[in-house]
């Protein structure tokens, strides 16, 4: 009775007790190996438990994160792409979408050259409280925090373009915080109160 390979790829091969048949042997190996040139695993954990000693150049697909990785001789590294799904940011009271007609504020996490990266797009309209002097919600724009997979290991601060109407500057800081909040930093009660902020083009490693 044929056995299967030790890498968990379900490629069969005959045993010494099987009836000799060169065609069946070749056909079984070809049909079993061709679909497995890129080995597929449920997760990196399953891959690690299956491939004890990976060989440089091995390529695998991880189903849980939808990612293609290659073993470079030292570690498994990702190809320069990742999941492309954009997710809409739920805005807190005092902020609305499509600031400066930049579109709905959204984010996505992709893998760029082996490193998880968060990207943003869209625009946010900003309201001010306290007779129009203080930015709403202390500047935190999202009502629902980003999921753990989209949170950085430490705070990431990026520069975001803003309106020059009621503002002496053309950009503000956006903090991507470890608790999943997104906070606008840099407004004041006098000369920096822009009505919108753009998220287009913002990205940073996680």
Same domain, 68 and 96: no
| CATH number, domain containing residue 55 | 3.40.1620.70
173: its two tokens: 């800081």
What are the two backbone dihedrals, phi and then psi, of residue 47, each rounded to the nearest 5 degrees? Answer: -60, -45
Quote the tokens at residue 146.
């980003």
Looking at residue 34, its pLDDT comes to 54
Residues 38-87 pLDDT 10s:
889 999 999 999 989 888 888 999 998 788 888 989 989 877 554 568 99
Range of the domain at 74: 3-78
How many H-runs (helices) and E-runs (strands) does the chain carry? 2, 18
Q: CA geometry: angle at 61 spanning 46 and 150, to 5°?
A: 85
- Mark which of 58, 78, 98 sits at the end of a domain: 78
Query: What CA–CA distance (Å, rounded) separates 123 from 198?
Result: 4
Residues paired with residue 13 on neighbouring β-strands, in sequence order: 3
Do 113 and 39 lie in one domain? The reply is: no
Domain identity same for 72 and 157: no
Half-sphere exposure of 7 (CA within 13 A, CB side): 19
For 171-191, write each residue's pLDDT tens digit.
Answer: 999 999 999 999 999 999 999
182, 135 contact by CB (below 8 A): no
pLDDT of residue 116: 84
193 shares a domain with 117: yes
Give the span between the Cα atoms of 63 and 42, in whole angstroms.
5
Q: What kind and span of H or E run contains 118?
A: strand 115-121
Of 41, 49, 88, whose CA–CA distance to 65 is shortest? 41
Distance of CA 107 to the CA centre of its chain: 9
The pLDDT value recorded for residue 3 is 73
């Amino acid at each position: 009775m044929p056995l299967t390979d030790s890498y968990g790829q379900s490629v069969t091969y005959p045993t010494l007790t099987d009836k000799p048949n060169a065609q069946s042997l070749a056909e079984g190996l070809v049909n079993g190996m061709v679909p497995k040139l890129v080995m597929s695993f449920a997760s990196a954990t399953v891959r690690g438990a299956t491939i004890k000693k990976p060989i440089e150049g091995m390529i695998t697909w991880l189903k849980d994160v939808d990612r293609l990785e290659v073993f470079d001789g030292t570690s498994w590294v990702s190809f320069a792409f990742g999941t492309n799904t954009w997710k809409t940011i739920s805005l807190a009271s005092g902020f609305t979408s499509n600031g400066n007609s930049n579109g709905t504020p959204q984010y996505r996490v992709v893998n760029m050259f082996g490193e998880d990266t968060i990207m943003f797009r869209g625009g946010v309209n900003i309201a001010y409280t306290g007779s129009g002097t203080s930015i709403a919600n202390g500047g935190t724009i999202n009502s629902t925090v980003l999921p753990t997979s989209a949170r950085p290991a430490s705070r990431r601060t990026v520069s975001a373009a803003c309106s020059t109407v009621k503002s002496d500057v053309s950009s503000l800081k956006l903090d991507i915080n470890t608790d999943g909040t997104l906070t606008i930093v840099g407004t004041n009660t006098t000369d920096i109160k822009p009505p919108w902020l753009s998220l287009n083009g913002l990205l940073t490693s996680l």
